[in-house]
Amino acid sequence: MATGYNWAGDAILRDTVMWDKRAVIGTSGIYIPTDIRAWLSSTNSAVILGALQEIDLPSAREQGTFDLRAWKIWDYVANCVQYITDKKSFGLDDFWLFPEETLILHKGDCEDSSFLLAALLLASGISEHCVRVVLGQVSTPDGSYGHAWVVYQNEQGRWCLLESTLDAVPSQLTLADPFTVPGNQYQYQPRFCLNGSHLWSMGAANSQMAEYLKTRDRTKVRQKVSKKRVS
């Protein structure tokens, strides 16, 4: 089912600094500018590698084992991380945790669980060419809001959508394209994607991250995607 989305990303963006996603603890309104790619720089972290030891990952590299690896990590994050809004956790509208923080706290919102999921996938040996964190919008029966999720390119070369806020994942990986079709109960609309090396725009040729974040902050309704979304 063709949608016109290139899940690997279209145009590389040079402006990768997020100005207000990390606040100085104990202060009001003081933020730490952070390169967005830093959230996916934990692939050699002992904490992330230790978490992988808790998952029964296939040791072989036979056909199908990378897809199984991706599914097991997805399932681990669904069971490990409880969804909670940044406002409830930190009193802030948008505060992005690093993967190790989400892992230790066992809670976070869509960006937090997506960065953790992607970091675990990459640390497990899956190529960064096959993993993206996607930022965009999701239209649901309850409204439209800013969202983040993960896509993984499976062994057949098809991109799968790994929703990181589910309480339970389906029994197999789910293809990404069907969830972008207009009229779908949960319609995903990607705007940007990234791995540890690059940030890309998706679709709109002149799309800018700063503009998207401003619009997103005005319109988003913080909530998790229903666990029935990918069943």
Domain count of the fold of the chain? 1
- pTM comes to 0.91
Kindly state whether residue 193 falls inside one of the protein's structural domains: yes
Tokens describing residue 84: 């909670």
Structural domain includes residue 43: yes
Tens of pLDDT, residues 163-211? 999 999 999 999 999 999 998 889 999 999 999 999 999 986 566 787 7
Q: Are 99 and 119 in contact (CB under 8 A)?
A: yes
In a domain? residue 199: yes
Alpha-carbon Rg for the chain, nearest whole angstrom, is 17
CATH number for the domain spanning 77: value is 3.10.620
The answer to whether position 46 is within a domain reads yes
pLDDT digits (tens, 9 = 90+) for 82-136: 988 767 767 766 789 999 999 999 999 999 999 999 999 999 999 999 999 999 9
Q: Is residue 113 part of a domain?
A: yes
Residue 1 covered by a domain: no
Structural domain containing residue 201: 11-219
